[in-house]
Amino acid sequence: MPRKPDMTRSDPGWPVMVSAVLLSGAVAAAVAAAMLRYGVEPAPGIASVRLGEMTAAYTTRAVAEGGTAEDVRAWGVALEAALGRVARRHEVVLLPARAVAAGAPDLTPEVEDTLAAILARGRAEGTAPPPEDGR
């Protein structure tokens, strides 16, 4: 014959179960807070560069000075390196100025300065411009 449960007696497992649920909730909250604090990188910002103007100015100058195909390639490699360095320095994604409607800072002067420095160092060393990562 089945026994009828005694409702006056408390179950000794109840406090353990409540403690386990509370402890697991606290651990989950701590892990979530740590992931938000240390595990999520902020999204990069957006900045613009007047690439069309830079390219047109270089092309005009190269034609007037009788630049070679090798000069054009070196300029293109140096431009890519300069864009990468400026983007990393400011933690932004660089977009052509025509692709940005409004509100993004224009980093063209800094890109031009970095490009000039890379090209000058390449001429001084007699080598091609360094790779984009700056090594």
Instruction: Give the mean pLDDT per block of 10 residues along the chain (135 residues).
Output: 64 75 88 81 88 92 88 92 95 92 93 94 68 46
pLDDT at 57: 92
pLDDT for 5: 63
Note the pLDDT of residue 8. 61
pLDDT recorded at residue 134: 45
Residues in CB range of 67: below 8 A, 6 or more apart: 61
Query: DSSP state, 106?
Result: B
pTM of the predicted model over 0.85? no
* Cβ pair 45, 91 in contact under 8 A: yes
Query: Which amino acid, residue 81?
Result: A
CA distances (Å), 116 to each of 14, 42, 120, 122, 133, in order?
74, 31, 6, 10, 17
